[in-house]
Chain A
Amino acid sequence: MLDLIISTLTQGFIYAMLSFGIYITYKILDFPDLTVDGSFPLGAAVTAVLLVKGVNPYLTLLAAVAVGAVAGFVTGFIHVRLRVRDLLAGIITMTALFSINLQIAGSNLSVARSVETIFTAAPTMAVLGSLTLIQRKLIVSLIIMIVCKILLDLYFKTKNGFLLKAVGDNNALVTTLAKDMGRMKIIGLSLSNALVALSGSVVCHEQRSFSSMMGTGQMVFGLAAVIIGTTLFKRMSFVKGTTAVIAGSVVYKACIQIAISLGLPANLLKLITAVLFLAILVLGNIEKGSVKKSVRA
């Protein structure tokens, strides 16, 4: 039972990074970014291949961040410079990434037990060697996630972070500040997909495998986590958006874990994910509607 709780928390923390990415696009930029379903497995694919090739496991995280940022950049470029609608720009990149992921890692790639991951490599063992693997997974995921959270929180306090928030809040103002809002959108999308790919990379370390199908429904998960989180804490303005997103991610993973524990067939998992998401979205829409109205008044 304790193991189950620990692994649920671990999952929640790993997917919180994906949710940070979606928080940036959906909540801050107001951009429905479907690239996520492609950039998440992209991070995993690059990680799996590099691990198999014997690259330092910690470096694979950075590699995933880099390729994720490129994926986000492409979507941003298609939307901003080639003037394709936001939703379609994401779909185009996502579709292209499906083939690219297959090219990188095939349809499935497992990482042999003998290969070291971020959870088993020497530096991790030196610090956390006395813990079991499942506990190490929790601690390492938590650390990576917290580092991302702190960096993001700091970024949102910078001038560039303010400008990013302004793009989603009132892009006319960004233009009158003599700044190119398109450029900020591209920056936001790159940052977002870098986090998503990082999440995919950690999942690959955790599962020791890549599957070309692992991206399906990830955007829905992230959206749900963001909406649950921000709805839970909407009355507490002192709670940072990133903190709310972490809570949302853990809660959502827990809901799914409970459904599985209650004997839900694994084949129905995505259906449950979708239904849960719909429920949250409807609740969130009601919430959002009232906020928008009060802003307009």
Chain B
Amino acid sequence: MLELKNISKIYNPGSVTEMCLFDDFNFTVNDGDFVSVIGSNGSGKTSMLNIICGSIPINGGEVLINGKCINRKKDFERYANIGRVYQNPAMGSCPNMTILENMSLADNKGKPFGLSFALNKKRFDFYREQLSALGLGLEDKLHVKMGALSGGQRQAVSLLMATLTPIDFLILDEHTAALDPKTAEIIMELTNKIVTEKRLTAIMVTHNLRYAVEYGSRLIMMDKGQIILDKQGEEKKSASIDDILEIFNRISIECGN
């Protein structure tokens, strides 16, 4: 279980550009939830993810995982239990290393990176099997550098790498936003498959309202640092894209867009 308790986040405190994003923000994600997060730009979606991952400091409140406060943990320590896929497909892997090398890096997450050889032939079949499940033919390109792949292929591998080892949470930060509609569709299907098969708890920020409605077990909408809509269970299943769009438009109009 992940809890954000009484979070306050102020950007540029003490300066003219001071901006209070979160003031007493609360949010709980239960194990097994697949939460889609929507909201206009500046509503605090990505800031929320960054606060969970420890990428940005907070001014108050607590981040708890399974009841334990992780405020003092540095970002890299938190990632021991968290997998993350970024909007930019280049962020999830090393462009100058091969698919095989990238897979072996991801495979070793949680273990010490010592002086034993990195490539383990015994694991190659496992990598091939995992890659072939993506359905992109990447299992035959083990020795191709990541940088030579397309954005969609890279994002698929990033997704695989982020979930290769056991994790408590999967963070998806607009991970389909930089892809063309067809590729985005493939990646979204893959995401759903991986999250379901591995029974992951996932938080997905997206600008695609249809993905938010179609996928996941829970939907939240954020506006100006607050959760203004939270649908789960049957309520989520019966939600239609039109209802969501209407609410979304209403808050956007209030903002003057």
Contacts and interface: CB of A to CB of B under 8 A. Distances in A.
Interface of A: 155, 157-163, 165-166, 169-170, 172-181, 294-296
A160 B162 CA distance: 19
Given A170-B90, A176-B79, A157 B118 contact: yes
B165 to A, nearest CB: 9
Contacts of B95: 169-170, 295
A180 B113 CA distance: 11
Contact of B97 (A166, A175, A179): A166
29 contacts: A155-B115, A157-B118, A158-B116, A158-B117, A159-B117, A161-B118, A162-B97, A162-B104, A162-B118, A165-B97, A166-B94, A166-B97, A169-B94, A169-B95, A169-B97, A170-B91, A173-B93, A173-B94, A175-B75, A175-B76, A175-B79, A176-B92, A177-B79, A178-B79, A178-B110, A180-B74, A180-B76, A295-B96, A295-B147
A160 B83 contact: no
Contacts of B105: 162-163, 166, 173, 177
B74, B84, B94, B110 interface centre (most CB from chain A within 10 Å): B94
B76 A163 contact: no
A39 B162 CA distance: 40
Interface residues of B, number: 36
Contacts of A175: 75-76, 79
A162 B96 CA distance: 11
B101 interface: yes
A296 B113 CA distance: 28
Contacts of A295: 90, 95-96, 147
B77 interface: yes
B109 A177 contact: yes
Contacts of B77: 178
Interface string B153-179: 000000000100000000000000000
Nearest to B79: A178
A159 B114 contact: yes
B101 A162 contact: yes
A176 B74 CA distance: 12
B111 to A, nearest CB: 8
Nearest to A170: B94
A158 B110 contact: no
Contacts of B104: 162
Nearest to B110: A178
A161 B97 CA distance: 12
B33 to A, nearest CB: 21
Contacts of B91: 170, 172-173
Contacts of A180: 74, 76
B239 interface: no
B108 interface: yes
A296 B154 CA distance: 12
A159 B75 contact: no
A295 B147 CA distance: 5
A240 to B, nearest CB: 14
Interface in B105-160: 105-106, 108-110, 112-119, 147
A165 B94 contact: yes
Contact of B93 (A158, A170, A179, A296): A170
Contacts of B115: 155, 158-160
